Structure 1
Amino acid sequence: MNKRLMGTAVAICSSLFLQGAVAGEGKIKIGVLTDLSGPAADIGKGSVASAQIAVEEFGGKLLGKSVEVIFGDTGNKADIAAGVARQWIDVDKVDVLVDLGLTNTALAVLPIAADKNKIAIAVAPAGTAITNEACTPTSIHWMYDTYALAAGTSKVLIDKGLKDWYFVTTDYSFGHALEKDASEFINGNGGKMLGSVRHPFNVSDMSSFMLTAQASKAQVIALANSNNDTVNAIKAARDYGITPKQYIAPLVVYLSTVHGMGLDLAQGLYLTEGFYWDQDERARAFAQKFKVKTNAMPGSLPAGTYSAVLNYLKAVQAAGSDDTAAVLKQLRSAKIDDPVIRNGRIREDGRLVHDMYVFQVKAPAESKAPYDYYKTIGIVKGDDAFQPISKSRCPLLKKPG
């Protein structure tokens, strides 16, 4: 066995051993599979806490069974994620897999869950392939996707007259999908795509890529990346005087990202999210529970895991069973409305359609406390935010003729 494969095997075994997961009947097991050691580890740890909060709201029991949350690290690698998923389903008898990490790790897990007839709810991945070519009978895409992100932020900037765009894109499936969806939206709504440059995932120095984008003379430099890559790109834009001459449009910005870079750097950015902790009383009530557990406010992805687990448990309760088919039937027929999701419904392709929001990051003087970072610019209704079902490439859908 080569060193890389040996390291992968040790990572899987160590993760599972440390959790102390024990297979057994009489339990409902929820597996949160996420990034716990990479650039999105804070989000991943928040997702675990959020799943635990949802279970606690049910008193830790349902249908006479105890409800248990276990968690594992994807390592941001498809082979590790697939190995953990198989172990959980075959040995540890996990009933539902949630979060799923990056798009590439989710795409490795979905067919495994479908083959084993287990529900897989993708929260953190953004790639639209999850409800297109890679859709399965047992998968749901919960929080957001690259189409919804493009539909929000891109439209705001085009409406402001910023029509010439150049992309700085992370070179894997998520970045490719984000660039593709945003470009189609931009070109179809009066904008123009001038070109793009691609960079490795989680690269420390974004200078050369941002200077290439600067040379395009585009009005907008769109960042089709996330987390550290987004922060490093924005820092490089400031250091090289790219801003304010050209507008930097990060298409994926999380609350933890803004918190990490600070309002001095992030102020004025437009972003699209499915949730903000301070949007109303219901959101604030969940946020306070999250703060007690983590000493932070929840971003949209940990909040999405809370919503996914909460609605899974509601569906188990309503179905009177944790049988996969019965729970899926209940989920797909239910209105999804909770402290996180508004006006939600699950389509035939597994896409949870719900309202999305466009925010602008506050200036330091506007913020009254830590995590008081966003002001609402507008609401994008679900049917406008997500790819129309008529354009879906999900093979499960019945096509006319």
Structure 2
Amino acid sequence: MRNLARALARTTALAAGLLAALPAAQAQSGASDGVVKIGILNDQSGVYADFGGRGSVEAARMAVEDFGGKVLGVPVQVVDADHQNKPDIASNIARQWYDTDKVDSIMELTTSSVALAVQGLSREKKKITIVDGAATTDLTGKQCTPYGFHWAYDTHALAVGTGGSLVENGGDTWFFLTADYAFGTALQNDTSKFVQAKGGKVLGGVRHPLSAQDFSSFLLQAQGSGAKIIGLANAGLDTSNSIKQAAEFGIVQGGQRLAALLFTLAEVHGIGLKAAQGIVLTEGFYWDLDDQNRAFAKRYMARFGRMPSMIQAGTYSSVTHYLKAVQAAGTDETEAVARKMRELPVDDFFGRGGKVQANGRMVHEMYLFQVKSPAESKGPWDYYKHLATIPGDKAFLSAKDSGCPLTQ
């Protein structure tokens, strides 16, 4: 009897120990490292610093705070770094984040060459990337991955919006000034297809290096082409400098029009309405479009001192959706979260009625705007006139037509 009692006591103690350990085991399976860590990797000091930059980091932190600062009972942490628009630097940072710092997901990823490099590495590491700042459709096309998502916009949406609208309004001959890397090539190619599909002609193009300072020779070639539209297939300070220098050459006064194919609120603010007035552009967000956008923008402005761009608002949306997917999956394990990312609808001020396709492309409305003249603006940041809303299924390629091997 004494031996039986001792055996029962040992069994009871073992059971109690297992029960005591259960919550810790559950927490381990829910969030593998006791924290969910999100990395914002973008250009914070170069040509795209205003485009996303520190403003995207602030938007990510806002999203985490609005979510409650925790998911699955563990804290959510945001880390950030400047990739300097160099794929090798970006890949090294991403590798350290994954291997040493236990980052669960990398987001923003301004610059298409950087985004493609980090998305490729993340496929090897089985980690989720969400691209807000880069534009190439290859991210959800021929270089798509099971863990890669593309959020705010892409070159197809820009071509449909700005390219399509200008051809329909008489801009039927084009010459391109193109940034000489993956993004510029994709944007020129996508826009050229829309121009030609609508009966227009592409008369030529010239490529310039990233972060060019002098656009005079490129602009003289564009001016000499006689094209009605000079398509700026660049972004950030490259676009701003192109527009400023075009004004010095009297290009618009001479009857040609500039099409800023990727131009955001940050660049308009940087060069001012006098230089930017009349430019038609496509964005996925504008702070003064409706009450929901104004409410977010007011809070963002109070924190960061500027109105949010499409990239910064998109970063807030992508971080929020990722955390919702982690919560719904009950784990931060990549495969489970990626499934939930595709299953859950996107329902926030940025992507109302949005959906994530099988190839990782988040489909949402895009908007065609024209920059106001100084006389039309009622105050600071009142820069856009809303011309049209482009439905998501028109703005973005379907998964079937994207060329993504995962959907064939």
Task: Return the TM-score normalized by structure 1.
Answer: 0.92
For residue 50 of structure 1, the aligned residue among 59, 64, 83 is: 59
The aligned residue for residue 339 of structure 1 is 349
Q: Radius of gyration: which is bigger?
A: 2
Letter in 1 for 2:133: A
1:337 alignment partner AA = D
1:1-400 equivalences under 5 Å are 25-42=33-50, 43-244=52-253, 245-398=255-408
What is the CA–CA distance in structure 2 between the aligned matches of 1:186 and 1:389, rounded to whole Å? 23
Taking the aligned partners of 1:341 and 1:183, their CA distance within structure 2 comes to: 27
Contact 1:275 1:341 in 2 (8 A): no
Cα deviation, residue 392, structure 1: 1.7
For 2:244, give the aligned amino acid: K
CA contact (8 A) 1:332 1:345 kept: yes
CA displacement at 1:298 relative to structure 2: 0.1
Determine the C-alpha separation between the residues in 2 that align with 1:363 and 1:37.
30
Match of 2:13 in 1: none
In structure 1, list runs of 5 or more residues that go unmatched: 1-23
Cα deviation per residue 1:85-117 (whole Å; 9 max; x = unaligned)? 000011111111100120011111011111111
Question: How far does residue 60 in structure 1 lie from its aligned partner after superposition?
Answer: 1.0
Give me the whole-angstrom Cα distance separating, in 2, the residues matched to 1:310 and 1:390: 27
Separation (CA, whole Å) in 1 of partners of 2:326 and 2:358: 20
CA distance in 2, matches of 1:212, 1:325: 50
Count how many residue pairs are aligned between Structure 1 and Structure 2. 375
3-state SS of the aligned residue for 1:41? coil
2:8 aligns with none
> What per-residue deviation string (whole Å, max 9, x for no partner) do you get for residues 207-265 of structure 1?
11011001110111110001111112112221111113101111010111000000000
Letter aligned with residue 46 of structure 1: G
Find the aligned partners of 2:398 and 2:407 in 1 and give their Cα distance: 13
Cα separation, 2, equivalents of 1:189 and 1:337:
34
Q: Provide the C-alpha distance between the structure 2 equivalents of 1:337 and 1:192, rounded to a whole number of angstroms.
A: 40
Look up the equivalent residue of 2:135 and give its one-letter code. Answer: A
Cα distance in 2 for residues equivalent to 1:387 and 1:66: 36
| Structure 1 residues 389 and 59: alpha-carbon distance in aligned structure 2, compared to 1, 3 A threshold | closer
Name the structure 2 match of 1:15. none
Q: Note if contact 1:53-1:289 (Cα within 8 Å) is conserved in structure 2.
A: no
Asked if the contact 2:48–2:235 (Cα under 8 Å) also holds between the matched residues in 1, the reply is no
Residue pair 2:168, 2:198 contacting (<8 A) in 1 also: no
The one-letter amino acid of 1:54's match is A
Separation in 2 of the partners of 1:373 and 1:342?
A: 23
1:158 Cα shift?
A: 1.1
Letter in 1 for 2:49: A
Over the matched positions of the two proteins, sequence identity in percent amounts to 50
Alpha-carbon distance in 1 for matches of 2:168, 2:345 = 33
Task: Measure how far apart 1:290 and its partner are.
Answer: 1.0
Quick check: 2:282–2:367 contact (8 Å CA) kept in 1?
yes
> How many Å separate the matches in 1 of 2:287 and 2:329?
30
**Paired residues of 2:399 and 2:407 also in contact (CA < 8 A):** no
CA distance in 1, matches of 2:155, 2:302: 31
Contact in 1 for aligned 2:280/2:369 (Cα 8 Å): yes
For the Cα contact (< 8 Å) 2:400–2:407, is it kept in 1? no
